[in-house]
Structure 1
Amino acid sequence: MVKEVISSKDNTRIKNYRKLHTAKGRKKSNQFLIEGVHLVEEAVNYKQPVDTIIIEDGFKHDLNIDHFKVLYVSNDVMKSLSTLDTPPGIAAVVNQQAPGKITYNRVLLLEDVQDPGNLGTLIRTADAFGFKTVIVTPESADPYNPKVLRGAQGSHFHLNMLQRGALEAAESFKGIKIGTSLDDAVYIDDFNKPDGDIMLVLGNEGRGLTERTKQLMDINAKISMPGMSESLNVAIAGAILMHHFKS
């Protein structure tokens, strides 16, 4: 059987897939686009609802994708689909799953984190330290933004990802809520890790947590910094805190 290779960037399917570069397109279709062997492999291995795997004609790989719908495209078409300067040769369209059951033991709530690089790093770090549920507020960067997906390196597929307002998420959580603040806060080295369920709440890069969210916290934590810097990037601070409160 002759393999069909799409060579036109104006092909209807290709044009629809390019819409997944935008938050509006992702929301409308309830799909997102991943790129590269590692992310496609993670999606396949963790049984994600992959709609279509897109492969540049001639690209060599060792993935077991016999049971998936595969679309072959030319180099020019792959370039038009990729958000990278050098397209990786393989991509996939994945359907967004309905949120799973919340695992309460360790929850990370991210209030209005704007930078996609920070968000991707925080999701990946949550995965590393056993924070199985990550809640992202609607005002944060889109968790399915291509840069977020690349930064998380497949951790989306290991976690329960939710989008909820910070107040709703915090008020419904029954365990210990630990906020982050420089004022009226306790150094993490000065108190023991609480027993039971923990929600760690990180705020916006510029202003931190909103006052309303801060008021819902059981305790505010801060990191001792003996050097000259006055603050840490939210992703770095989040990594230190998640390691301290890891499951």
Structure 2
Amino acid sequence: MLCTHRPWVQASTSSYPPQSKQLNQSSNFSITKTKTQFQRKFLRNRLNDIEVDDIDDDDGGSGLLRFALTAHVKSITSTSNPFVKHCLKLKNSSSYRHSNGSALVVGTTSIREIYRYEEASQEKTVMDCLLLLDKAEIPEGLDTDSVRIVRINTMVMKKLSGVQSAESIEAIALMRLPTSFLNLDIDQNTLDCRRWFPSTYRILVLDGIQDPGNLGTLVRSATAFQWDGIFLLPGCCDPFNEKALRASRGSSFQLPIVSGSWYHLQTLKDTLNMKMVAGHPDSDGKLKKVSSLSKEFVHSLSHVPLCLVLGSEGRGLSEKSQQECELVSIPMAGEFESLNVSVAGGIFLYMLQPKN
């Protein structure tokens, strides 16, 4: 799925789950309060265990349509349960995730990583629900007083996790997307680039990374080496894709991520006087000079605000990235043309990491 999000059009109410229309404050169309009340009543009557938790109107609202289990539901045993279908659509559809502002985090390790980060920062991740396998223990570190726990059986866990052995997966969290994630093509209130990242000393820019495993690994590496954020150019997969979240071990909830265009990136570069370098093979035969990732090169950038651009493994850098960036290659003694982008990215991120 591409990480370019467009407004969603309301689907027919004859299908489940109902599609919501995501609005921004610049839109000429709004959901009136009368229609909002009708939607709540209709969905509650139709879906039994699911209710509309919140539909923001255009008076300062986000336009997100949220679903939640009713308070009496303590366990789910059927894969046909409407809430299970809602979770599956969150898992499989990027547009549905972003229209609901929620994502599934599969696995105890990723959930723990997110909460460990929360303890050390002021960023509060909102967990709407923790789906816990029957008789499994509550993951260590979770505040049981504030977390809604619903028990599910093996069949439901297999359906939601996508793994054949539910014993390896004991918990799935339904979490709201972090406030540190911005989609500049939709959110018109964040055009001031100084507000995108808390710091802009080191920003990783991903150019058309479509493999969720590679993208998630790069997000995880950027977090480990204390980079300040990720900028996603068009063509990247959703960082809240299930496979991307699993590869990142929840880092997509920790590191600021901004999705935008080259226009937005150019604005960031010009406003903050950032240097742009891009990873690129040394043996492509093109005329533009390709520098080597040496200690001297790294030292020359030690006090320079930097954007590092990495392209997809299949197509490489876009023409725009090649034109706008200084190209840098990793010296290799072997006869390989290039490395896997997540491996090459890890080397770049380590070598160019911030120096405290």
Give me the TM-score of the superposition, normalised by structure 1: 0.91
Written as runs of structure 1 = structure 2, the 5 A alignment for 1:33-112 is: 33-45=104-116, 46=118, 47-63=124-140, 64-66=142-144, 67-87=146-166, 88-99=169-180, 101-102=196-197, 103-112=199-208
1:156: how far off? 1.7
Instruction: Find the aligned partners of 2:349 and 2:337 in 1 and give their Cα distance.
Output: 20
Q: How does 1:96-245 map to 2 (within 5 A)?
A: 96-99=177-180, 101-102=196-197, 103-173=199-269, 174-181=273-280, 182=282, 183=286, 184-189=289-294, 190-191=296-297, 192-194=299-301, 195-217=303-325, 219-245=326-352
Listed as ranges, the gaps of 5+ residues in structure 2 are 1-71, 119-123, 182-195
Q: Which runs of 5+ in 1 are unaligned?
A: none
> Cα RMSD between the aligned structures?
1.9
Q: Which has the higher contact order (CA 8 A, sep 6+)?
A: 1
Using the alignment, how far apart are the partners of 2:346 and 2:112 within structure 1?
26
Once residues 36 and 193 of structure 1 are traced to their aligned partners in structure 2, the CA distance between those partners, rounded to angstroms, is 42
Q: C-alpha distance in 2, partners of 1:126/1:193? A: 21
Residue from 103, 110, 115 that aligns with 1:32: 103
Q: 1:62-113: CA deviations, max 9, x gaps? A: 4333111111112211111112333311110111123364020110000001
Whether the aligned pair in 1 keeps the contact of 2:180 and 2:255 (CA below 8 Å) is: no
Deviation at 1:180, TM superposition (A): 2.2
Contact 1:107–1:198 (8 Å) recurs in 2: yes
Asked if the contact 1:170–1:216 (Cα under 8 Å) also holds between the matched residues in 2, the reply is no
Q: Distance in 2 between matches of 1:240 and 1:193?
A: 17
Between the aligned partners of 1:37 and 1:76, the Cα distance in structure 2 is 18
Once residues 76 and 148 of structure 1 are traced to their aligned partners in structure 2, the CA distance between those partners, rounded to angstroms, is 24
Letter in 2 for 1:8: S
1:9 Cα deviation from its structure 2 partner:
1.4
Bigger CA drift: 111-120 or 136-145?
136-145
**Structure 1, 111-120 or 174-183: larger mean CA deviation:** 174-183
| Residues 92-143 of structure 1 deviation map (CA, whole Å, 9 limit, x = unaligned) | 0111123364020110000001111111111111111121201122411111
Equivalent pairs: percent with the same residue? 28
- Distance in 1, matches of 2:239 and 2:112, equals 19
Q: TM-score, normalised by structure 2?
A: 0.65
